[in-house]
Amino acid sequence: MSAKTYTEQNIDLLKSSLVKATGVLLKSKKAPDELLGELFGDVQTQQVYPDGKTFVDLVPKKRIRLIKEEYKLLKSDPNFDLREFVTRHFTDLAQTLHTKEPFEVHADDTLEEHMTRLWDYLERRNRVDRGSLIALPHKYIVPGGRFNEQFYWDSYFIMLGLAAQGEWKKVEDMVKNAAYMIRKYGYVPTANRTYFLSRSQPPFFVMMVHLLAEHKGKKVLRYYLPHLLIEYRFWMKGRRKLEETEHNAYRRVVQMSDKSLLNRYYDNKVTARPESLREDTETAHASGERIRDRLFLHLRAAAESGWDFSSRWLADPNDLKTIHTADIIPVDLNSLMYMMESTIADAYNSLLHPIQTRRFRKAASKRKDAINEYLWDEDQKFYMDYNFHQQENTTVFSLAGVFPLYAGVAGEAEAEYVAAMIQREFLKPGGVVTTLIENGQQWDSPNGWAPLQWVTVQGLRNYGYDELAETIAHRWIELNESVFKDTHRMVEKYNVMGGNGLGGGGEYVLQDGFGWTNGVYLALKKSLEGN
């Protein structure tokens, strides 16, 4: 190693250490909607940019106060051009921070060669707060397209692909970034953006820790135990206040009729999402007499679920205005919470803490019983979300129902029914479909998503349904390869029912990249080669 390279590495390490040491203590800025006030609302509602996320990701060129004062003076001028004003006062961080050459498609690349080059293109480093983007101490892989930040649950599925290629340094850097955010905020936000700080996403940090432990040993579980405990407290916050509340629910925790505790998706704010302000405002306006605060909460809670949007959250599966996410106990979230409690118990056991080991094993056991009591629908023979307001299961069949197999919560009989349902209803030519309802929402039919293919395959393997698992894996891989052959693209979601294979629906156009698609493809390929 040259002296120059050694010095550069030391400087790099020092800068990362400074972010770790000082960043935890520094308070993050407010979100763009809170900082910019009227200007923000005008830009978003007048649709200066087709995608509302574009503006919230821009960086002001001078002090916000000065920009707002100038806007107040100029906005009433008949010749005022709002887009020109924004262009003059804000800059696109992606262009300044991401200095690499535009990604070039090489027609002769294999799919794996294409993805290997994509990792480098999708890698970011940001150790200074810039606009809405929050500094992180280490490099990270972004999903791609409109997403230029480290997203929470996306990261785990990206890590699977990095691990499959032996890129363990990249995996560990992203785990460390997630742990840093847990220390700073008490949870992992949706992504490292100020406008995402009111919510999290499906808690896959526990699986990130398990993945890294496969490479470095069980010491990893002990090292990240404090972070797991902090995140656990976030999801369970308010459990001692439940009996004082309507429906025995407070933030993300709900007490059921038998006193057992389960979790729901939630958000700490009740305003329109800044990145989707126009869409949320239009939904609220169309909903008529519905209380706007509650509607915004349900929209935000669905965003925390990662399934934004899906018939899972709708009273009328074809009408977004009927969304009621926070009234629902989700199968996927509680399966992941069971894994968190079990892992915390294992980590304490390895540290020879019998009292804490028993405490978390008991919590995991109680949750397992509650999942099978409330989320197993005996009539439908499938795991279904539960509406705790109405005290009954919802009617939407979704791939969330396979998470109890992924977590090891299901009994053998339940797993057999789930596997049969997957084969009979969800299995399609390109893999497994997200739900059985086609309504234009992106987390519904005919779309298939990489993370749900992985969870389904792993869940089925856990209970010995290897043939069905391999069928799903092969079909998904073949779909990825077919679309790549035609387009030289890896995309965010796919149509698993037919056509050209490209997914659709949702609030924005289909995104290229794509982090978790790449990761799951590589991980599934490796798992099939090992069988």
Query: Residues 172, 275, 414, 492: which is the catalytic one?
Result: 492
Task: Enter the tokens of residue 142.
Answer: 């972004």
Half-sphere exposure of 123 (CA within 13 A, CB side): 17
Tokens representing 316 are 């009328």
Q: Residue 309, SS3?
A: coil
Indicate the residue type of 495.
Answer: N
Q: Are 58 and 91 in contact (CB under 8 A)?
A: yes
Return d(Cα 296, Cα 300) in angstroms, integer.
6
Is 323 in a helix, a strand, or coil? strand
Phi, psi of 98 (to 5 degrees): -95, 90
The number of beta carbons lying within 10 Å of the beta carbon of residue 206 is: 24
In angstroms, the CA 162 to CA 459 distance is 21
Q: Are 334 and 410 in contact (CB under 8 A)?
A: no
65 CB burial (10 A radius; 0-12, 13-18, 19+): exposed
Judged on CB neighbours under 10 Å (0-12, 13-18, 19+), 234 is middle
Give the closest residue to 273 by CA, choosing from 34, 511, 493.
34
173, 308, 385, 444: the catalytic one is 308
CA distance 30 to 132: 8
| Assigned token pair, 67 | 């920009």
8 Å CB contact between 455 and 408 = no
Distance CA 163, CA 76 (A): 56
Give the Cα separation of 53 and 299 in Å (integer): 16
Q: Is 84 part of the annotated catalytic residue set?
A: no
**Spatial distance between the Cα atoms of 502 and 514, rounded to a whole number of angstroms:** 13
Q: Reply yes or no on whether 12 is catalytic.
A: no
Give the span between the Cα atoms of 57 and 92, in whole angstroms.
7
**If we measure between CA atoms, which residue out of 267, 283, 357 comes closest to residue 322?**
283
Tokens of 499: 């056509």
DSSP 420-477: HHIIIIIEETTEE-SBS-BSS-TTSBTEE-HHHHHHHHHHHHHTT-HHHHHHHHHHHH
* Nearest alpha carbon to residue 93 among 45, 148, 28: 148
Structure-token pair, residue 321: 């205005």
**Residues designated catalytic:** 308, 492
